[in-house]
Each structure stands twice: as structure tokens, then as C-alpha cells.
Structure 1
């Protein structure tokens, strides 16, 4: 991601993150009221960019067995993604918190065209088709095609008039 889009703001899919948090909460809390309270407080902390507080609270819990394993997995997951979890700032900035729109666009733009029954592709040709489809749907096709035409003119060198135009040929 960093290589392809070095300036992009990365946001960990909030709903996937919540799945991990709920999985731990279900293993940790037998009491529904205690579980719901912990989930509310943890979610609020994540939206306030207080991941350190969430991690510290998790590490203080004296757990054994499955709950300890789920806690350790959650701590690892949250720590690995700490730079991608400022949900409050993302929401205030109008960024989507989930990846559903991206996943849907990927399916619509890529899979429908490339995964048709009987279709097979060479990688470079598939990438060209995907670039055209993306430019069509993000309304940049005209810019994309103008850049392509310019690159083709540069590859061919100075333009020469066609023979038919020089000789006054053509249909009458």
C-alpha cells in the first residue's frame, strides 16, 4: 500500500476491527451487561484516538485459557494497525470507516470484466483494461486518453501528413 499510494490515508476497516473486538468480548465476558458496557467504552476510546488506553486495559486483565488467547490476538491486531485507527479524525474528515464501497467497486470494475466464464488474460493486458475501466467510472477517461495519445505521439516522433492528404487524395 505504501509503495503504490505513499500519500494515501489508510484506515483500518472499522467493522472488521469491531469483529475482532467483539470476538474477544464474547470470550471474556459471560455477563451481557458487562460485555456491552466494555464494548461501548472501548469503541468510544477508539474514536477518541486512545488506542494506548485500550491496549493498557487489555494487558491489565488477568485472564487464562481462551480469553487470554483472544486478548493476546486482539492486542497484536490492534498494535499492528495502530497507525490506521484514528476513527474520530477519519469520520470528521468525511472518510469512509468501512471498506465496503471499495470492495464493491473492485467487484464491479474488476471481477465482472476479468472473471467472466471462459475469460483468460495476460497480466499486462488485464491491467490495461482495468485502468480503462477505472478511468471510465471515476470520470477521468478524457484525461487518461489525452495522456495516452500524447505518449503515442512522442513514441512516433514528429507527425507526418498521410500520403493521401499530400497528394490531394481521398473520396470525392
Structure 2
């Protein structure tokens, strides 16, 4: 529960603590949150950022809806474009959208064009898969639902900003199996003080 700059800095520090060096191969998969990929690239300059494929697919579906494509026909519009992008043909898909937008400018398509340009180097899904990289953030999304959201969304619960991070930290410790080690270290620190 902090700025991208602070959170990514903490991630960087954690990486250094576990042995990350300038030669470490770093791959990051995330959604297109404004400023997230930029902050990751800033603090992890060698990172290969990958835009979560399902988020990109959602943007295509949202655009199809805005174009007036009937729901039953949207997958016929989305799938060939998604496949072309996944095969590394981002420029061709981008050009198609730009040509269509010159003829008939639609705000949602204009947004999609900007989105594709912003993440152009993060969309070559088949190449990423061939390298063994993940192309989706489903595991993290699932962990987010079962660790922080499960606690935050208890009916009747209220939260203060100064209590959220400590609670998350404890839940993450427990989820990762570090609960006992954390408390053993904490007891040692308190005894030494």
C-alpha cells in the first residue's frame, strides 16, 4: 500500500538481499497500471517487462465493444489480432488500428493504439513462452486474493493506512512458511536489546 517507486525499491532491495546482481536475468509480468512498468524498468534496467496477456486481451475486447461489434462476434475480431501480436507482429496490428482510426476516429481505439505503443516490447508472447517466461500474472493475482484481499474484505472490517502493511507482512510471512523463523529472529533481537 505505497507508491510504485517505494514498492519497487523494496522489491529491488529484496532482490539484492537474495543475490541479485547486474547480470541476473530479471523478468517482470504485470498489468498496465500507469507508471508500474516504467518504475520497474527504471529500478531494474535489464528487466524484460511482459504485459499480462489477459490484461491485453481485455483491452482488445473493450475496444471491440466500443466499436459496436456484437458480443457473439467479438472473439472473431479479438483472436486474430491477439494471435498476430503473440506471434511478434505488433507493428502490423498497430498499423491496422492506426489506418482504421484515421478513417473513423474512435476514442477507445485511440487508447488501444497508445497502450500498444507503450507496451510494444512487452507483447511478443510466443517468444517469451519459448524462453520459458511467464506471460500471465495469474499466480500473483490468485495470491493477492487469498492473502491480502481475504483479510481486507472481511464484512464490517475497517482499515487505517498505518495498519495495512504490517498485517500484509504477517500474512505473507505465514503464506511463505517463514512464520516460525520470523518470530524466532524477533525474540532473539528483543532478547539481545
Aligned ranges for residues 80-159 of structure 1 at < 5 Å? Answer: 80-92=118-130, 93-97=132-136, 99-149=137-187, 151-152=189-190, 156=193
Unaligned segments of structure 2, at least 5 residues: 13-25, 30-49
How far residue 153 of structure 1 moved from its aligned partner, in angstroms, is 5.1
Return the index of the structure with the highest Cα Rg.
Answer: 1
Distance in 2 between residues matched to 1:104 and 1:47, nearest whole Å? 24
**Aligned residue for 1:160?**
none
Change (3 A) 1:15 1:46: same
Unaligned segments of structure 1, at least 5 residues: 157-172
Change (3 A) 1:124 1:148: farther
Residue correspondences, number: 150
Residue of 5, 17, 20 corresponding to 2:56 = 17
TM-score w.r.t. length of structure 1: 0.63
Residue of 94, 109, 116 corresponding to 1:71 = 109
**Superposition misfits of 4+ residues, deviation over 4 angstroms:** none
> For structure 1, which segment, 70-79 or 104-113, has the greater mean C-alpha deviation from structure 2 after superposition?
104-113
Structure 2 contact 86–124 (Cα < 8 Å) conserved? yes
RMSD over equivalenced CA pairs, Å: 3.4
More strand by proportion, 1 or 2? 2
Change (3 A) 1:115 1:43: closer
